[in-house]
Amino acid sequence: MKPGYYFWSGDIAAAEGAIAAGCRFYAGYPITPSSEIAERMALRLPQEGGKFIEMEDEIGSIAAIIGASWTGKKVMTATAGPGISLMNENIGLAAMTEVPIVVINAMRGAPSTGLPTLIGQGDLMQAKWGSHGSYEIISLYPDSVQETFDLMIDAFNYAEKYRVPVMFLIDAMLAHMYEKIYVPPDDEIVRIERKRPTTPPEETLIYKADDDLIPPMPRIGEGYKIHASGLTHNEKGYPELTPQAQERLVKRLNDKIRKHAEEIWKVEEYKTDDADIIVVAMGSESRSVRLAVDLARREGIKAGMLRLITIWPFPYKFIEKYNVPYIVAEINYGQIYHKVREYTRDVELLPKMGGEIHKPDEVLRAIRRAVQ
Amino acid sequence: MNPMEEMRREEEKLLRTDRLPHVWCPGCGIGITLNAFLRAFIRSKIDPNKLVVVSGIGCTGRAAGYVNVDSFHTTHGRGIPFAVGIKFARPDLNVVVFSGDGDLFAIGGNHFVNAARRNHDLLVIAVNNFTYGMTGGQHGPTTPTGAYTTTTPYGNPDRPFNIPHLAISLGAPYVARWTTYHVNQIQNSIYHALHKKGFRVIEVISQCPTVYGRRNDMKTPLEMMHYFQKNSVRKDDASFEELELSYNGKIVVGVFRDVQGIPTYEERYEDIIRRAKK
Amino acid sequence: MRIEIKFGGLGGQGIITAGYITAKAAAIYDGKESAFTQDYSAEARGGASTSEVIISDEKVTYPQVIKADYLVLMSQSAYRDYLDKLKEGGTLIIDEDLVKPDEKAENFKIYKIPATKFAEEIGNPIVANIIMLGFFTAITGVVSKDAMWKSIEERIPQRFLELNERAFLKGYEYGEKMKKM
């Protein structure tokens, strides 16, 4: 896109952000409220020489992007909670075989079919724990149309850099809300490419990690004779079904994210410096919390907001940093609340089952209660 | 060097010999099929660096682990959409899906149906051994009605897929069926199909003496081979009824569809890119 | 400064389009910030339709209407459903042939226009929403006339521009007149 100002929805910004990040392959299956991402990609990707395909379901969609990623392309799919439930099988495959992919989940009211057009934040734990096994992914969650665009660039950069699935969360409100957005000139966008092997094929163990715990990734068709398997494997990529191989591989898959967590963390600390009470919030919900914090300040209550932009790996040091009571405001019946509670005992949950975010008044009342 | 020896050496280059011995039981038909595939591929003179083999899960799904080319052992049933992603992203590659009946037609059935409909440029080698071998011999989507398996202890009430008919109904441009008794025909068929475009399906009826044959009056690999030999009939213009498989009945083999000129999905998308760039 | 506007009417009246055009006018052509949201629950033609616009000098926080400064209505059912969203002393803008206010609206400033009738006179009832936008622009001044027109121009297909320009100006001039009364 030409640099300049646009008036876009979160869905459009997600698609355009992906393209700006270098995404050239999209496979997906329509689902509210993410369908506009697919529509935009169908329109725009072929203009950029990229590929768009509408698959038969979400399972096929994520399988296709994992396959395409091995050809060296930056790839993405987008869906909502029901689609993530189906994709989780291959999110595990991408984590296990270390394939960079970006998966957008436009969260809606749930469980099951729930509230297709209305907001929910019930998939925060699913983002991390959806597939079977112990693994780490990266999850990001913006709160505005502008940040959706900007953060998509980070999402692709993280996926490429760490060879990991990035679960990009938005929500039904953000997906469909329109705001002004600035698209920067192309040369101002920083794009990270995955590491490629520097040794010739015959000397390369395709799953041998560097010191940063991340193995360089060869592309199909270059003679590396890649073998990738969802089975527990060794540095050659060959199945090795032993506790020792499991220990080495699974520990590294987790450690390569955990050891880089601080580089991955993005948190907005809004008026927290002198705060007596901090509300933790994410995504669209944080817009209400921001207003509530301002209203509380007008009443003389020193309130602040910690807005988690990186949800996973969980940015716990920011919770530990403040010795004040916390409120976790989220559109579910307690998810990130439990994570926060791991790091402080003084925390209260402000839940909502879904369909709308908290009214600023509701958050303000919770703040008042907490400081009494 | 005699030609047999030379072929063996060529084949070895295409195998990850450091992974041998393989997991397949003695007398299993998957090795015969893989062997035929490798020989056909060698004859084709296609650059091995441009060959990609994708498998799902199961006994046949292990094939990707033994071929010394870019190869992917994916999740159960997802070999086809994974291969679709590779082929659509890099249309210059030769992408082969090598997997089993349960993987391709039960859990992966929806992917098979839709990839065939879109006519992706993939060669699918479907080894049909009538059962889920890896998990111990349960009945699957191709188990003949009446057959005995660990989950059909009183005989199979289910009816099997008619795979060639299914593929033809979806417009697949090349559809063949052989048994592992037809080693040369399999090889020729794969060789032929490697030079064609579109969604090509070759069903190979294969023996699983270990968990299928012994429950169905064919205790040894040899007995299963005898069955294939005695009961196979070549008929390229077979009807729907003739293509159906019955319990220990006749097996119609042949090349049932071989047409050219149907644009592949990848070709049609090139046109989309041209239109979008206008 | 935070201004909240709610549009309400029936599917097919261009209620969503009106909100979108207004929000984009403020953000892109007046250089302010805005957020536009719409109700997706009843998109079918003839069903209730509503959209919301928040305009601010700073980044918009809560993106939906808490208490509307302006309520722009084109159906009686929208009047029934949304009147309580209008804040005390707020402004009610209605198509006078489609909305009949009752005593509940006594404490609001009310501006009326026969927008649909005007649209029919111009040649197509479909531009009633654009007449409402012209009227809204003149009455409220929340969005500049230039910005609103540019935003309409961007949204409407070329071949309908002339019709829409007449509609916009009709509404705008009627608004100027009503404001003076």
Question: Could you tell me how many CB contacts below 8 A there are between chain A and chain B?
Answer: 141
pLDDT (mean) for A217-231: 98
Report the CATH number at residue C46.
3.40.920.10
Which of A144, A178, A290 to substitute to test the interface with C, most C CBs within 10 Å? A178
Of B16, B88, B92, the CB nearest to A53: B88
**C-beta atoms of A68 and B86 within 8 A:** yes
CB < 8 Å to A361, chain C: 66
In chain C, how many H helices and how many E strands? 6, 6
Mark residue A283 as left, alpha or beta (left: phi above 0; alpha: psi -120 to 50; beta: remaining): left
Which pLDDT belongs to residue C40?
76
The structure tokens listed for A66 are: 């994992």
d(Cα A187, Cα A321) in Å, to the nearest integer? Answer: 36
Q: What single DSSP character describes residue C60?
A: -
Q: Map tokens 């030609």 to a residue.
A: B3
pLDDT (mean) for B25-50: 97
pLDDT (mean) for A61-89: 98
CB < 8 Å to C37, chain A: 173, 176-178
Residue B208 has pLDDT above 90, yes or no: yes
Which residue stretches of chain A are H helix? 10-21, 35-44, 58-69, 81-97, 124-129, 145-162, 172-176, 243-258, 261-264, 285-298, 316-321, 336-341, 360-371
CATH numbers and ranges of domains, chain A: 4-188 (3.40.50.970), 269-371 (3.40.50.920)
pLDDT (mean) for A299-325: 98
Which pLDDT belongs to residue C181?
80
CA neighbours within 13 Å on the CB side: how many for C49?
Answer: 19
C: neighbours with 3+ CB pairs under 8 Å? Answer: A
pLDDT bucket at B139, cuts 50 / 70 / 90: very high
**C-beta atoms of C37 and A290 within 8 A:** no
**C-beta atoms of A294 and C38 within 8 A:** no
Asked whether at least 3 C-beta pairs link C and B within 8 Å, the reply is no
Residue B11 has pLDDT above 70, yes or no: yes
Which residue stretches of chain B are H helix? 3-13, 30-44, 79-89, 101, 109-118, 163-169, 183-194, 221-231, 240-243, 265-277
Residue A265's nearest CA partner among A209, A309, A224 is: A309
Q: Is the dihedral of CA A343, A345, A346, A352 positive or negative?
A: positive
**C-beta atoms of A227 and B72 within 8 A:** yes
Instruction: Count the Cβ atoms, other than its own, within 10 Å of residue A363.
Output: 28
Q: Please tell me the total number of residues recorded for chain A in this structure.
A: 372
Which pLDDT belongs to residue C46?
64
Of B19, B52, B269, the CB nearest to A238: B19
The structure tokens listed for B271 are: 């046109």
Partners of C55 in beta bridges: C3, C34
CB < 8 Å to A359, chain C: 62, 66
The structure tokens listed for C64 are: 């939906």
pLDDT (mean) for C65-75: 98
Which pLDDT belongs to residue B257?
98
Of C27, C37, C62, the CB nearest to A176: C37
Residue C45 has pLDDT above 70, yes or no: no
Task: Report which secondary-structure segment, H or E, holds B252.
Answer: strand B251-258
Percent of chain B predicted with pLDDT > 90: 98
Of C20, C28, C62, the CB nearest to A360: C62
Residue C43 has pLDDT above 70, yes or no: no
Q: Is A191 helix (H, G, I), strand (E, B) or coil?
A: coil
* CA distances to A192, B143, C131 from A102, in Å: 14, 39, 44
Which pLDDT belongs to residue B117?
98
pLDDT (mean) for A130-139: 98
Which of B78, B122, B278 to substitute to test the interface with A, most A CBs within 10 Å? B78
Q: Does C35 touch chain A (CB under 8 A)?
A: yes
Is residue A34 within 8 Å of A175, Cβ to Cβ?
Answer: yes
The nearest CA of chain A is from the CA of C63 a distance in Å of: 7
Mean pLDDT across chain A = 98
Q: Does C52 touch chain A (CB under 8 A)?
A: no
Is residue C5 within 8 Å of C72, Cβ to Cβ?
Answer: yes
Which of C16, C62, C151, C154 to substitute to test the interface with A, most A CBs within 10 Å? C62
- C74 by Cβ neighbours in 10 Å (0-12 / 13-18 / 19+) ranks as buried
CB < 8 Å to A46, chain B: 269, 272-273, 275-277
Is residue C50 within 8 Å of C15, Cβ to Cβ?
Answer: yes
The structure tokens listed for A12 are: 């459009």
ipTM for the predicted complex:
0.97
The structure tokens listed for B160 are: 């099997």
**C-beta atoms of B70 and A46 within 8 A:** no
Is residue A26 within 8 Å of A51, Cβ to Cβ?
Answer: yes
Q: Does B20 touch chain A (CB under 8 A)?
A: no
Residue A270 has pLDDT above 90, yes or no: yes
pLDDT bucket at B53, cuts 50 / 70 / 90: very high
Query: Mutual orientation of helices B30-44 and B3-13 as an angle, nearest 10°?
Result: 100
Dihedral, CA of residue A45, residue A49, residue A54 and residue A58, to nearest 10:
-80
Dihedral, CA of residue C139, residue C141, residue C144 and residue C149, to nearest 10:
-20
Of C27, C63, C66, the CB nearest to A7: C27
Is residue A325 within 8 Å of A346, Cβ to Cβ?
Answer: yes
Strands B174-179 and B200-205: parallel
Phi and psi at residue A129, in whole multiples of 5°?
-115, 15
CB < 8 Å to A56, chain B: 81, 110-111, 113-114
d(Cα A266, Cα A283) in Å, to the nearest integer? Answer: 13
First to last CA, chain B: 57
Which pLDDT belongs to residue A43?
98
DSSP string, A248-278: HHHHHHHHHHHTTHHHH--EEEES-TT-SEE
CA A85 to chain centre: 15
pLDDT bucket at C47, cuts 50 / 70 / 90: confident
Is residue C11 within 8 Å of C48, Cβ to Cβ?
Answer: yes
- C117 by Cβ neighbours in 10 Å (0-12 / 13-18 / 19+) ranks as middle
Domain range enclosing C113 = 2-180
In chain B, the residue whose alpha carbon lies closest to the alpha carbon of A65 is B85
**C-beta atoms of A179 and C36 within 8 A:** yes
Is residue A264 within 8 Å of A291, Cβ to Cβ?
Answer: no
Provide the whole-model pTM: 0.97
The nearest CA of chain A is from the CA of C96 a distance in Å of: 30
Q: Is the dihedral of CA C96, C100, C102, C108 positive or negative?
A: negative
The nearest CA of chain B is from the CA of A228 a distance in Å of: 5
Express each pLDDT in A156-205 by its tens digit. 999 999 999 999 999 999 999 999 999 999 999 999 999 999 999 999 99
Which pLDDT belongs to residue B20?
92
Of A25, A227, A239, the CB nearest to B89: A25
Express each pLDDT in C100-155 by its tens digit. 999 999 999 999 999 999 999 999 999 999 999 999 999 999 999 999 999 999 99
Q: How many structural domains is chain C composed of?
A: 1
Of A5, A176, A294, the CB nearest to C38: A176
Please state which of the ranges B39-53, B93-107, B216-230, C37-51 shows the lowest mean pLDDT. C37-51
**C-beta atoms of B88 and A224 within 8 A:** no
**C-beta atoms of C23 and A7 within 8 A:** yes
pLDDT (mean) for B146-168: 97
**C-beta atoms of C23 and A178 within 8 A:** yes
Mean pLDDT across chain B = 97
B217-251 as b/e: b if 16+ CB within 10 A: ebeebebbbebbeebbeeeeebeeeebbbeeeeeb
The nearest CA of chain A is from the CA of B166 a distance in Å of: 17
Q: Is the dihedral of CA A8, A14, A16, A17 positive or negative?
A: positive
d(Cα B148, Cα B137) in Å, to the nearest integer? Answer: 9
pLDDT (mean) for A56-76: 98
d(Cα A105, Cα A175) in Å, to the nearest integer? Answer: 10
Which of B47, B66, B68, B75 to substitute to test the interface with A, most A CBs within 10 Å? B75
CB < 8 Å to B267, chain A: none
pLDDT (mean) for C167-177: 98
Is residue B91 within 8 Å of A25, Cβ to Cβ?
Answer: no
Is residue A210 within 8 Å of A145, Cβ to Cβ?
Answer: no
Which pLDDT belongs to residue B264?
98
Q: Does B72 touch chain A (CB under 8 A)?
A: yes
Does domain B3-277 sit in CATH 1.20.1250.20? no
Residue A56 has pLDDT above 70, yes or no: yes
